[in-house]
Homo-oligomer: A and B are copies of this chain.
Amino acid sequence: MDRIPILRMGEFLLVTIQVDMHDQLALTLQDDLAERISATSAKAVLIDISALDMVDSFIGRMIANISGLSRIMDAETVVVGMQPAVAITLVELGLELPGVSTALNVERGMQLLRARVAAQ
């Protein structure tokens, strides 16, 4: 497992994080995402973290980095499927992810993004 797949769904990109992230995997994901946003003119990146039971500051920073990267490339970031314990941990760590939208699941995340794209 050397890279996390990025799935294209129309104007959006979907990333499902299932495995423990280590430095190289996180860097590869950021590089791949930057390339795919550019290649597909994607409007948004959905990051599904429903498989994560816990989260540490490394993952928190990675999400913040992806969000910053997306914003520079004119795409939004929506984190979906966050478990309650993960939300509590992120707040306790002081990682409140400014500029990152959240949604309960992928479907609601897509609805949110479609509404925003339509309003533009």
Contact = CB atoms under 8 A, between A and B. Distances in A.
Interface residues of A, number: 21
Nearest to A7: B106
Contacts of A81: 5, 7
Number of copies: 2
Main secondary structure of the interface of A (DSSP, over half): loop
Nearest to A2: B53
A101 interface: no
B107 A10 contact: yes
Interface in A2-19: 3-5, 7-10, 14, 16, 18-19
A107 B19 CA distance: 24
Contacts of A8: 105-107
